[in-house]
Chains A and B, each alone.
Chain A
Amino acid sequence: MGNDLKAKKLYITIDGYRMEDKFSGLDDSIKIEMLRKMYQIRHFENETEQFIIRGMIHGTCHLYTGEEATAVGAISAINDDDYITSTHRGHGHCISKGADLNIMMAELLGKRTGYCKGKGGSMHIADVDSGNLGANGVVGGGIGIATGAALTCKMKKNGKIVICFFGDGAANQGIFHSSINIASIWDLPIIYLCENNVYGMSTSVKEAFNIEKISDRKCAYGIEGLTIDGNNLVEVFNAVSHFSGECRAGRGPVLIESLTYRWRGHSKSDAQVYRTKEEIRQWVEKDPIERYKRILIGGEILTEKEDKDLEKEVISQIEEASKFAMESPFPEPSEVEDDVYA
């Protein structure tokens, strides 16, 4: 009886697209793993905030707090060897793609044990071997690179796909247009995932766009596109699962707009004069972690106690990462010109 139910596919509709509810068919362990990843991002960012307050971050950081469901939902829906490109708000993507928290934290503190040997910092964490083609300090800077990675997948026929993350601000850069157009004419296997978190630094999407949905731009390129609730992990997972299948079948690219919100300021030096506390409060009520946790507990996949234990485990893992980062050595000044080839 139970097996019959499991075998039956459930269907859902997201923004007019009917698709299989792949989430419901997942093993419980995978569902719990996604919650763990969300906690990792949340607590990594909390810890980073503490480092900022204590003056231990030399540059700046852009925190992903509040947007966890988008990165975790999307990246959990693709294969480990698929590619992503990330943004200047990239810690969430990096953690979702399986980055080592110790090595990430070491990079933030400018240590030689970091992902970039202390040469990149928060905005340039990359792990090319694991398919993470890098965060990017330039708004929209990764869109062309992601498109090129998708061209590699197509030319090598390796069955891989790419998720290109970028923000609402990047959707008004020229590279957005020229890259998506090329991906469309060449049928490249790539999901353009626009994280609409309401503000490009201080400028609201209301000021920056004269269209209701960024995904409406799909019409300009003759591709599929939709807008999803980016704070609902289940919806993000299902949408990306469906369209990653489409991309693998040669029916890419696609433009997905994921509606979410950053709880913290743009960077460490943002007085947030452009938004109200009330607006932030309303979005905090839509906390993606709280929502997802309720789904798991309600579905008896996880008990309240198991949830608390999971979060505690993550917190101690983050403490361990901080310890590793703080105890790691800084690079030697003599290393400054290493890895420059011209």
Chain B
Amino acid sequence: MRELTYLEAIREAMQQKMRKDSRVYLIGEDIAEYGGAFGVTVGMLEEFGKERIRNTPISEEAIIGVATGSAITGMRPIAEIMFSDFITIAMDQISNQAAKIRYMFGGRAKVPLVIRTAGGGGTGAAAQHSQSLEALVTHIPGLKVVMPSCPYDAKGLLISSINDDNPVIFIEHKLLYKNKKCIQNVPRQMYEIPLGKGDLKREGSDISIAATSYMVQKSLEAAEKLSQEKSIECEVIDIRTLRPLDIDIILDSIKKTGRLLCVEEAPIFGGFMGEVSAQVSEKGFDWLDAPVVRVAGRNCPVPYSLVLEQEMIPGASRIEKGILDLLK
């Protein structure tokens, strides 16, 4: 075992799959010599060559269209959309084509496609390069949606996503890529983490927190602080796979704690945690001692100024306040 960053874990998953399976290839913008906008694919051109590290013009719609067409004819593409904001440019291909093909054709086609993309804010990139658009894609039947929060999960979940015969939207977080605080031991060998399984990142008995992506790290930070300062023990659940959703891990947790705080980065209105909240209300009402509460992004585009950006996106202190309010 050795320690890897989130970015290195993602790269290693792709490299190992590509060495084993000639059908796997990469397609996207600036992924070759440049190594991807965030450096995820650095060195891969040298190892795999231009045929399999397919650098494209700036054409998101065609990237997903081409990847989809090659997937239904026997390849296993990994398409990189530089910023998750730009999936909207390819939305016809994602929503009307890739997501629909298997069902619409009566189950007679497979679409083994992974769309990797960088989501989230906190980088000062403002409204068009910082969004968390997972709710757009989780709403569409036929898509699987994965948001890893740490290097170990990123590698195992990406390998499972590549092995899956259905389109997977794999949303990485920019603030995790080279985050030194989130470096982890990652096994050298290939391993899968099944899609549709959440993960308990911290055990606790006072309150359950369900979070996604970078908000898992922020929730853990708040949980540690409250444990040390106030002896409050939070159970932190990393949802990991938004669709299919592992609702059972959340229900099992509230049986123990009676309280659920949902934490996500996206604007609260119409967000993914609204679905979690509804399902918990429908299936776990008897175990709840208080209403489900959401801590999420403010209802505005992601602003530029650091002061405003920190107001829009939840941080550990807002999560901490959410926990304390819910325990009152």
Contacts and interface: CB of A to CB of B under 8 A. Distances in A.
Contact of B69 (A127, A133, A137): A133
B266 to A, nearest CB: 19
Nearest to A129: B108
10 contacts: A115-B105, A126-B105, A126-B108, A133-B69, A175-B61, A179-B59, A179-B66, A182-B56, A182-B59, A342-B166
A124 interface: yes
Given A144-B97, A152-B73, 13 more contacts: A116-B104, A119-B106, A126-B108, A127-B108, A128-B73, A138-B92, A143-B65, A147-B62, A147-B66, A152-B69, A153-B73, A178-B57, A338-B107
A131 to B, nearest CB: 9
A279 interface: no
B307 to A, nearest CB: 38
A200 interface: no
B65 A117 contact: no
Contact of B107 (A117, A127, A150, A185): A117
A178 B62 CA distance: 6
Contact of B75 (A129, A136, A152, A182): A152
A340 B51 CA distance: 32
A178 B77 CA distance: 18
A56 B143 CA distance: 33
Which 7 interchain pairs have the tightest Cβ spacing? A144-B65, A148-B69, A178-B59, A339-B107, A178-B62, A145-B69, A116-B106
Interface in B299-316: none
Contacts of B109: 126, 128, 134
Contacts of B104: 116, 119-120, 124, 126, 134
B56 to A, nearest CB: 6
B189 interface: no
A129 B72 CA distance: 10
A181 B59 contact: yes
Interface in A130-186: 133-134, 136-138, 141, 143-153, 155-156, 174-175, 178-179, 181-182, 185-186
B105 A120 contact: yes
B229 to A, nearest CB: 41
Nearest to B27: A151
Given A145-B69, A341-B166, A181 B57 contact: yes
B244 interface: yes
Contacts of B144: 341-342
B68 interface: yes
Contacts of A145: 65, 68-69, 72, 97
Contact of A175 (B56, B73, B92, B102): B92
